[in-house]
Amino acid sequence: MQQHDLLIVGAGPVGLALALSLKDAGLDIVLADTRPREAAAGDPRILALAHGSRLTLEQLGVWQGLPATPISTIHISQQGSFGRSMLQAADYDVPALGHVLPAGELAAALRRKVDAAGIAVLDETEVTRLAPGADDVIASLSGRHAGTLSARLAACAEGGMNTGADGIVEHDYQQHALIAQLSVSGGHKHTAFERFTTSGPVALLPCGQGYALVHVAAADDADALLQLDDAAYLARLQTIIGHRVTLTAISDRLRYPLGLRYRKNPIGERTVWLGNAAQTLHPVAGQGFNLALRDVHALADTLLSHRGDPGSSATLAAYGKTRDLDRFGTIRFTDGLVRLFSNDIAPLRHARGAGLFALDLCSPLRHFVARRMMFGARAWP
């Protein structure tokens, strides 16, 4: 039976980033992924990367050459109410508040680096069971590399959470996200829009020459919106967004349901869960993947500073202490935004408008929100 120091379950962006973070740590690392090698590069999702995530990817040596579109301004508003706020990169001495990037492009760049580093990836191989023991975890594999292997630590970087399982918190927002690509008149000028409506937020993220759309709506409304032809749906979007930007075309419409799911404790016996295997968040404010990269950053830093057995209880406890504030802070932040803005209660609507107005006037508060979006609850580095 093959023996390794670290088994990473999932060779998507999160798992690949963890492997690259530890390529010089002197650890025997192996990744296993159920998909063919090219599958991750075909991921159609669009990622909103915070400035802190860019710094992490620069450290990993994969940022150069990525087709990332910078966000220099974020315009936040509420439909049907006064009050708006603007966050601008120039106010925080950063080149951009964030960047927008196709997930497949990032995955492909990470995979090339992992392959160049000589880190083994078992493609088309599913980890069907993890059996932790005193000194290692025994992984049962099926597929192309069927069999078993042992590792001193298993890091689960992909895969869902079983509904109803112990230690899993779940909340169905009764919302769906419609995603698409938009063309606009006059270009995006590197400005992102976050427009809150009573049905959910609508985000326009500068991507290439146009915008990537994330339109959150109630589940029943999403059915009706998908049945509209492109011209009718574009007109509906224009009504929601207003005339700050002129939409001219739409393509590649998809949808997916939204919910909050997270593990109360993402650390087990010789096992740690990262990214969507640890928490799945609402897309409001684009925090999910950025939180996952901070998981990766912290775990790699912990393993580099705690030499010896990477799966020891002391090492994993040290990692857990670094993540509680950021992780639960981000979960509460995104969940709170959804619950606060996705309703049409008149007093709350007016209070939200006043809050956005105050955010624009109060620079310390605006600075706090911007730093949180760029670096998370700990505002690292």
CB 70 within 8 A of CB 99: yes
Residue 380 forms part of a structural domain: no
Q: Cα(22)–Cα(30) distance, rounded to whole angstroms?
A: 11
263 vs 342 pLDDT, higher one:
263
CB 19 within 8 A of CB 157: no
Residue 359 has pLDDT above 60, yes or no: no
Residue 321 forms part of a structural domain: yes
C-alpha Rg value of the chain to the nearest Å: 21
Number of independent structural domains in the chain: 1
CA angle, 319 then 374 then 272, to 5°? 20
Residue 221 forms part of a structural domain: no
In the predicted model, what is the mean pLDDT of residues 253-269? 92
**Which residues are CB-contacts of 289 (< 8 A; sequence separation ≥ 6)?**
13, 14, 47, 48, 49, 53, 275
Q: Which of the four pLDDT bands, split at 50, 70 and 90, describes residue 356?
A: very low
Q: Cα(13)–Cα(105) distance, rounded to whole angstroms?
A: 10
Give pLDDT tens digits for 27-78: 999 999 999 999 988 888 889 898 889 999 999 999 999 999 999 998 888 7
Residue 233 forms part of a structural domain: no
Give pLDDT tens digits for 85-103: 788 888 878 889 889 999 9
CB 286 within 8 A of CB 310: no
Structure tokens at 356: 């956005």
Structure tokens at 60: 């990993």
The domain in which residue 297 lies consists of 2-45+102-167+261-340
Give pLDDT tens digits for 111-145: 999 999 999 999 999 999 999 999 999 999 999 99
Q: Cα(201)–Cα(301) distance, rounded to whole angstroms?
A: 35
341 vs 252 pLDDT, higher one:
252
Q: For tokens 């991750």, what's the residue?
A: 40
Residue 242 forms part of a structural domain: no
Q: Which of the four pLDDT bands, split at 50, 70 and 90, describes residue 81?
A: low
Residue 157 forms part of a structural domain: yes
Distance of CA 333 to the CA centre of its chain: 14
- Region of poorest pLDDT, from 186-190, 250-254, 372-376: 372-376
Residue 215 has pLDDT above 70, yes or no: yes
In the prediction, which pLDDT does 357 show? 41
In the prediction, which pLDDT does 165 show? 72
Q: What is the CATH number of the domain that holds 137?
A: 3.50.50.60
**Conformation bin of residue 74: beta by default, left when phi > 0, alpha when psi is -120 to 50:** beta
Q: Which amino acid is at 336?
A: G
Residue 163 forms part of a structural domain: yes
In the prediction, which pLDDT does 131 show? 96
Give pLDDT tens digits for 292-322: 999 999 999 999 999 899 999 999 999 999 9
Q: Which of the four pLDDT bands, split at 50, 70 and 90, describes residue 348?
A: very low
Residue 162 forms part of a structural domain: yes
Q: Which of the four pLDDT bands, split at 50, 70 and 90, describes residue 337?
A: confident
